[in-house]
Amino acid sequence: MSTISFKKPFYTVKLNSAAFMLILFFIGTALLSAWIDKIERKLYGVKPGVYIGEYNIGSLYQNEVQLIIREMALKHQQPPVEPAIDRESGGIIPGQNGYQIDIMKNVANIMASKKNQRLELEVIYTSPEHADSELEQAAEVLGAFETWVQGSQQRVNNISLAISGINNYLLWPEESFSFNEAVGPRTIERGFLPAPVIIGGEADIDYGGGVCQIASTLYNAVLASGLRVTERHPHSKPVYYVAEGKDAAVNYGSLDLKFVNNRSGPVIIKAGFYQSKLWVEIKGKENKV
């Protein structure tokens, strides 16, 4: 059997003719495959020099283009932002449109593009579910209630902190309100001070004392507005600021006041404290008969 030798400075490689032919076959196959791929890309792929954004996608097959566009779509998307109420000022924060990449449209544009063409991504704009005008129209008082505040400066401090937790609070239709979630834990780290509370039917002192008064005031405003109350707890003894059966005891982690906006439009909770008077209003758009 004949052999072929390749001499190097330090070693010699000997191949028989069958092995040599096998190597030539694989090399030839690889070169042929590369040549066929080049021809097919020229015939069926993207035209040379085509860019989408910063990506050179010339000569790519359609399935390769689709993978790139899908990857770009994950990076270049923005969900719409619903209009909101500024919790400090009560002003309307306009909603914002979102957008997402139109994958199939971009792939089609790329495959139809001309040589050296530069393309921009085609996007689909999406609108928020709700319009700014819905908040503009939520200006009528649906229900309101007032109570008189008595007690120490610590108690007034706690009530003021709780007011900031619920004032300018927005509820879209079918959204739920939780007093404890809105006001948060009544701790010294968050500024709440020790003040009188009712625990087990007895007077005591605890952080956040007085917060139940704003919960009760809110509860009565909610009743007047017709919103659906889903959780409410009475005190273990009567309180001075509302009639018996009209109070709402709250305790973070155990007792909560919850209700649902069962109206067709948004409602906004307004609350304030002025000259010893605590007030709460539920605003929305009155349904005309």
User: How do the pLDDT tens digits run along the chain, 289 residues long?
Assistant: 455 554 555 555 565 776 656 666 667 566 655 556 566 666 577 888 899 888 888 888 889 899 989 998 888 899 999 999 999 999 999 999 999 999 999 999 998 999 999 999 899 999 999 999 999 999 999 999 999 999 999 999 999 999 999 999 999 999 999 999 999 999 999 999 999 887 777 778 999 999 999 999 999 999 999 999 999 999 999 999 999 999 999 999 999 999 999 999 999 999 999 989 999 999 999 875 3
Q: What is the reported pLDDT for 199?
A: 75
DSSP 8-class letter at 54: T
- Using left for φ > 0, alpha for ψ between -120 and 50, and beta otherwise, residue 262 falls in alpha
Q: Which of 66, 155, 61, 157 is nearest to 104 (CA)?
A: 66
Q: What is the reported pLDDT for 168?
A: 98
44, exposed or middle or buried, with CB in 10 Å at 0-12, 13-18, 19+? exposed
Place of tokens 């790329």: 110
Q: What is the reported pLDDT for 287?
A: 77
Q: What is the reported pLDDT for 167?
A: 98
Largest CA distance in the chain: 114
Looking at the DSSP bridge assignments, the partners of residue 202 are 199
DSSP 8-class letter at 83: -
Q: Which of 75, 96, 98 is nearest to 84 (CA)?
A: 96
Q: What is the reported pLDDT for 193?
A: 96
Q: What is the reported pLDDT for 289?
A: 39
